[in-house]
Amino acid sequence: MHFRRFFSPQTGDEYAFKVKSVACDLEKQGLTEFFELADKFYKKKPNFAFAGHNIREFDIPFICRRGLVHGLNIPPFLQFSGKKP
């Protein structure tokens, strides 16, 4: 399981592309690490947004459903249900 992340603004008009991979043999462990990583980043930069093709319609809901299957708590900023794009 691999997850990649985030463009982040640096000083001035520059942006940096940062990649963080989460890899493990157990899906629950990978999802837990992803949720913790995303939560830590969200606490530092509450206005961040995930970017990707159809990410709000497939990727994030799929990740959240798999988290629910494993009994994990979904972070509030990943709960897009009922929100408009």
> Domain limits of the chain?
24-85
- For the residues 65-69, what does the mean pLDDT come to? 94
Long-range contacts of 2-9 (CB under 8 A, 24+ apart): 3/30, 3/34, 3/37, 3/63, 5/37, 5/38, 5/41, 5/50, 6/41, 6/48, 7/51, 8/45, 8/48
**What is d(CA 26, CA 72) in angstroms, rounded to the nearest whole number?**
14
Instruction: Judge whether residue 37 has pLDDT over 50.
Output: yes
| Mean pLDDT for all residues in the chain | 80
| Sequence letter at residue 58 | F
* Other beta carbons within 10 Å of 15: 10
pTM of the model as a whole: 0.71
- For the residues 18-45, what does the mean pLDDT come to? 88
Q: How confident is the model at residue 78 (pLDDT cuts 50, 70, 90)?
A: confident
